Amino acid sequence: MMMFKDSSKVKNLTIHVDTGATIGPKGLPLVCGRSEELSLVQATVSFETSHDCKAKGIEVSFKAASGTLYYGKLFSISARPATPEEVTLRLEGEQVYLSKHWDIGVQFAKPGSIAKGTYTRQVAVLLDPTLPSSTSHINGWVKYEFEARLKEAKGFGIGRHDTVVTQEVWVLNSSVPAMGLIDIPVAVKAHWRRSVPFVVTLPSKTLCLDQVVPINIAQMPFITGTELEGQGVLVNSVNFVLQETRTARALYTRDVRQLAERFVDLTVNTGWEQSSEGWERTIYVSMPSSPALSASMTSRYLDVVHCLVVTIELRTNKIKTDRIVVNVDVDITPPRTILTPPPGYNDETQNVDAVLGIPTDLTDELPSYARYEA
């Protein structure tokens, strides 16, 4: 719940998003979307004033968007002399997926003055499960947010000093289908010195946040007739890194920002066989959770991609130390979560209005004016 309170006189503006016991990062309300159905998000916006309040009205809005913000350089050509000139600029871009607006019905004591009392409105939005999951990083973000605005009576545009309260909702939309992930193993082969094939196998190209992933490492038999045939290969260690690469773009510029961050970073030093005939071993690696790790996504201004990097350090009788790197591109998605629907919501519900009930616990000594609408 986000709240504004004027302590000199009672004047509260609040947003409450009810997601039950599901709480996301930083205590934010958490909404978990599933691939085959829309997600319902409800918010109750209340304004309470113990005195007539000078204001034009109360607006409520919701926005789902992704965007970027970074600083770059624009090259321009001056007239004299005609040489490139670097100018540092604030570069940003925003793609809006969903935007909704409502007004809270109020009573006016006189024009430009809201009568004392309590005003409440319940609003709701339906989220497409194909929208990207929430994320927040230095150069890019995906945000779902409610905003309540008490419009001041004086001024216009930027000259008007409104009271604004916001409430972010953390959204995790899973791409896992109802029947679960289909196990289609992904195998990537690499050859060390054209003599020894190694194969890294994952159970699926799609991995989930918080998932424990079995990663199979296999050394195949030496290739006949190669320079290392007959030698024993000793693996010193195998390192597993999940790399997240975020690419940020902006309006009116070709200046792109790309940032790679390493996750997991697990090294296994023991238990590796030595054989010219081949062997295999499975290592279990835990994927990070949100918000540390983002879900994979593509958008107009922000892309997030993931790659599992497996580095095998090895040696033979003649070669002291060498390494081979195997890259496996993967998609990261939130897990499929069992959701508890709000009261009155079922498969026959045709619209948002049908699931918006009027609370029975709103009692106040002040006059109360309430509307509950989608």
Buried b (16+ CB within 10 A) or exposed e, 137-152: bebbbbbbbbbbbbbb
Higher local confidence (pLDDT), 214 or 367: 214
pLDDT for 86 = 52
pLDDT beyond 70 at 149? yes
Q: Which domains does the chain have, with CATH numbers?
A: 2-173+341-372 (2.60.40.640), 186-333 (2.60.40.640)
Q: 108 to each of 32, 119, 217, how far by Cα in Å?
A: 40, 12, 72
Other CB atoms within 10 Å distance of the CB of residue 15: 21
- CA nearest to 242, candidates 306, 303, 298, 335: 306
Average pLDDT over residues 50-72: 93
pLDDT for 38 = 93
pLDDT for 76 = 46
Q: How confident is the model at residue 177 (pLDDT cuts 50, 70, 90)?
A: confident
CA atoms within 13 A on the CB side of 327: 6
Residue-wise pLDDT for 184-219, tens only, equals 899 999 988 888 889 999 999 999 999 999 999 999
- Distance separating alpha carbons of residues 77 and 86, to the nearest angstrom: 9
Average pLDDT over residues 74-82: 47
Cβ pair 208, 285 in contact under 8 A: no
What lies within 8 Å, CB to CB, of 312 at 6+ separation is 192, 198, 217, 235, 237, 238, 323, 324, 325, 326
Average pLDDT over residues 70-85: 55
Residue-wise pLDDT for 323-359, tens only, equals 999 999 999 999 987 544 444 444 443 333 333 333 3
The mean of the pLDDT values for the chain is 82
Q: Does the bond joining 132 to the residue before it have cis omega, within 30 degrees of 0?
A: no
CA atoms within 13 A on the CB side of 167: 26
Residue-wise pLDDT for 87-112, tens only, equals 578 889 999 999 999 999 999 999 98
pLDDT beyond 90 at 8? no
- CA nearest to 352, candidates 127, 149, 178: 127
What lies within 8 Å, CB to CB, of 133 at 6+ separation is 142, 171, 172, 173, 290, 294, 295, 297, 333, 334
pLDDT beyond 70 at 155? no
